[in-house]
Amino acid sequence: MADEPNPIKEKILKSLNSPIIEAANENAITPSRIFAKINQLLDFKTTKHFAFQGKVIETVDLEDGNIQIKAADLGASLLGMKTERLQVEGSLTNLSDEELQKRIDEYLEARQKDKPTDSKG
């Protein structure tokens, strides 16, 4: 029995040979290295220097919330923990269960239509 063409397998193999994957492999950019860096950034601190009359009199290490939040956000995205926000016009509190389900279904249907399709096969 000959192997039948498997479009999913072909797509995966093709993606493994993409230029971005090749560049990542050549530069040893692995998921574990990426997450190790994100882990470091979750504890990132910045040093503030306080000067008086042109001389540094004190330095203080402070948590850098901007970097820490960006690292947490990136990590959550890579782990699939972030969800898309749904924008709703009007109030949903006065809707019946049926009307609410109808709006959800309409949203999901519109979202499915907006997904790009791979015409290259």
Range of the domain at 51: 7-85
Q: Is residue 93 assigned to a domain? A: no
List pLDDT tens digits, range 93-120.
777 888 888 888 888 888 787 765 554 4
Q: Is residue 116 assigned to a domain? A: no
The set of residues, in sequence order, having a beta carbon less than 8 Å from that of 61 and lying 6+ positions away, is: 45, 46, 47, 48
Cα gap 12→9, rounded to integer Å: 5
The pLDDT value given to residue 87: 66
Q: Is residue 98 assigned to a domain? A: no
Which pair of tokens denotes residue 49?
A: 């220097």
Q: Is residue 99 assigned to a domain? A: no
List pLDDT tens digits, range 72-98.
999 988 888 877 666 666 666 777 888
Considering only residues 91 and 35, tell me which one the structure prediction assigns the higher pLDDT.
35
The pLDDT value given to residue 69: 92
Number of domains in the chain: 1
User: With a threshold of 0.85, does the pTM exceed it?
Assistant: no
Comparing 18-27, 37-46, 87-96, which segment has the lowest mean pLDDT?
Answer: 87-96
Q: Is residue 41 assigned to a domain? A: yes
